[in-house]
Amino acid sequence: MFKLSKMADYSIVLLSRMSKAEDLLSTSELAEETQLSEATVAKIMRLLVKAEIVSSIRGAQGGYRLAVLPENLSAGDIITAIDGPKALTACTDDGAGECILIKNSAMAMRLQKINGAVKNALHNISLKDLYV
């Protein structure tokens, strides 16, 4: 399926909100403003931190802040962070073991061609483009 997952869409909502903020935003603040549950927000923020899309400050008065400029953050980056690399990667030569298994097969070529085109398209859309 080639459609945006709910989680990826939520993450764009959150990132759009963060791109308007000067200071740190906590999970509870983000949840309240976006109408999402705190648990869901927390789950997404963890993934965005791991992908180094946002930076986090722990402890009281902590929170999250964008680590990248909105114009330098692509939809592809966000989707990869949320849905995992398998959602998008085009099986490049430096890939992991799984990729080698189907290398040289016709199936691998097709996946590479199609996923490569999708990947490319998504990397040409920035968060700034999405923030309407």
Partner DNA sequence: ATAAACCATACCAATTTTGTATGATTTATA
Partner DNA sequence: TATAAATCATACAAAATTGGTATGGTTTAT
Based on the shown chain and the rule CB under 8 A, indicate whether residue 2 belongs to the binding site for a copy of itself.
yes
Using a 10 angstrom Cβ sphere, with 0-12 exposed, 13-18 middle and 19 or more buried, the burial of residue 80 is: buried
Looking at residue 124, the DSSP 8-state letter turns out to be T
Residue with tokens 């939809």: 75
Contact 99, 91 (CB under 8 A): yes
Based on the shown chain and the rule CB under 7 A, indicate whether residue 13 belongs to the binding site for DNA.
no
Cα 125 from chain centre? 12
Residue closer to a copy of itself by CB (options 54, 75) is 75
Residue with tokens 């691998």: 108
Based on the shown chain and the rule CB under 8 A, indicate whether residue 83 belongs to the binding site for a copy of itself.
yes
Partner whose footprint covers residue 51, from DNA, a copy of itself, none (CB < 5 to 8 Å by kind): none
Number of residues that bind DNA (CB under 7 A): 31
Residues at the contact surface with a copy of itself, assessed by CB under 8 A: 1-5, 9, 12-13, 16, 75, 79, 83, 86-88, 106-107, 109-111, 113-115, 117-122, 124-125, 129-130, 132
